[in-house]
Amino acid sequence: MYKLVSLIGALAFAGASTMAMAGEWQALPTKAPEPADNPTTPEKVELGKILYHDPRLSSSGTVSCASCHNVMAGGEDNRGGSVGVKAQVGGRSAPTVWNSAFNATQFWDGRAPSLEAQAKGPVTNPIEMGMKSWDDVVVRLKAIPGYTPLFAKAFGGSDAVNADNAAKAIAAYERTLITPNSAYDKFANGDLKALNEQQTRGMQLFKDTGCAACHSGPGFNGSQNGQAATGVYMKFPTIENAALEAQYGFTKDVGRFEVTKNDADKHFFKVPTLRNIALTAPYFHNGKVKTLTEAVTIMAKTQLGKDLTEQQAADIAAFLDSLTGEFPKQAMPQLPGYTGKTFDYE
């Protein structure tokens, strides 16, 4: 009888502990925050989706936003460096576009303060989409008859085809790219059976090891629903390790320093979201780490000074796998035609 009472007590304690743990974690919102000057509308979203998938926004006519940020998969391209126009390879791994609306800043170095600002960058980057200017992009868009009514429907006015509206439309579309209702979200919302035993262990280890100090909030990116918070930027690596540096070359990229030219910002990077991270290998800014367990082990060592066992790394990776959410269905858009002719692509 005593053993039975003890067992019931132990189970009750475990249940209470699990409930308390669930209350500490935040589920992903099902709607993204949006700026006052760019409210989300179905017309903007539809236009943005078309622009996002149109390779004619690149100098070669071969690269679209979707080329490097594939919404039919994990929102990036599973490459260490994305391939742009003229087969040029970028120096950083493409971040996922899924849940990017919950980032306080965009790009690894945080140089874009909004999705609208981010949308303008790759189009005129000589390595990525290669257009000489947004003026050239607008000329091309105006030459395609189907775009003018789409812009007018989304923004109104007789001359709505311009760079700002194009960026606003792409950003509006990206704000619909949310992946809620992961196993983790179900747990955070009260379904205490949503995580398996290993994932529950990994969640506790994620907290106890110190990972949550930076990867906090519903996006696991140090941000509260897109608002800046402590930990949006972090130095990487924080703890020097000659062996890891020789293998991966993490410090060859000086990070946010490229934007600010402030020595104090050398090797600082935006804390990336961990949402859907099981789908977005390879890892880190330079895409040199191929597996999630390896990434977990490296982060513990270089950021927290802790050596994880193989089992601990596997448990945390299992928890991170529980952050894979439900993806909204994406029907590929029909691009407006440029009938009977083509552009002079480079």
Residues whose CB is less than 8 angstroms from the CB of residue 53 and which lie 6 or more positions away in sequence, other chains included: 64, 65, 66, 332, 333, 335
> Is residue 157 in a domain?
yes
> Is residue 281 in a domain?
yes
- Among residues 174, 191, 226, which one ends one of the domains? 174
Same domain, residue pair 169 and 201: no
Whether 158 contacts 149, CB under 8 Å: no
Same domain, residue pair 297 and 234: yes
* Residue 273 CA: distances (Å) to CA of 218, 222, 229: 9, 8, 13
Whether 286 contacts 249, CB under 8 Å: yes
Give me the tens of pLDDT residue by residue for the chain, a chain 346 residues long.
Answer: 444 444 344 434 445 456 546 658 999 999 999 999 999 999 999 999 999 999 999 999 999 999 999 999 999 999 999 999 999 999 999 999 999 999 999 999 999 999 999 999 999 999 999 999 999 999 999 999 999 999 999 999 889 999 999 999 999 999 999 999 999 999 999 999 999 999 999 999 999 999 999 999 999 999 887 665 545 899 999 999 999 999 999 999 999 999 999 999 999 999 999 999 999 999 999 999 999 999 999 999 999 999 999 999 999 999 999 999 999 998 999 999 999 999 999 9
Number of domains in the chain: 2
Residues whose CB is less than 8 angstroms from the CB of residue 27 and which lie 6 or more positions away in sequence, other chains included: 180, 184, 185, 188, 189, 218
Identify which of 142, 111, 143, 144 has the alpha carbon closest to the alpha carbon of residue 125.
111
Q: Which amino acid is at 67?
A: S
How far is residue 1's CA from residue 74's CA, in Å, rounded to a whole number?
Answer: 53
Tell me the CA end-to-end span of the chain in Å, nearest whole number: 83
Same domain, residue pair 131 and 221: no
Same domain, residue pair 211 and 248: yes
DSSP 8-class letter at 233: E
Same domain, residue pair 113 and 63: yes
Same domain, residue pair 197 and 294: yes
Same domain, residue pair 220 and 317: yes
* CATH code of the domain covering residue 259: 1.10.760.10
Same domain, residue pair 159 and 204: no
* Residue 167 CA: distances (Å) to CA of 82, 96, 264: 21, 18, 32
How far is residue 184's CA from residue 200's CA, in Å, rounded to a whole number?
Answer: 10
> Is residue 123 in a domain?
yes
- Among residues 145, 174, 203, which one ends one of the domains? 174
> Is residue 342 in a domain?
no
The set of catalytic residues is 128
How far is residue 127's CA from residue 65's CA, in Å, rounded to a whole number?
Answer: 13
- Among residues 174, 201, 222, which one ends one of the domains? 174
Same domain, residue pair 188 and 317: yes
Same domain, residue pair 218 and 306: yes
- Domain carrying residue 248: 22-29+179-321
Same domain, residue pair 105 and 72: yes
The alpha carbon dihedral of 167, 172, 173, 179 has a sign of: positive
Q: Assign 3-class secondary structure to 271-290.
A: CCCCCCHHHCCCECCCCCEC
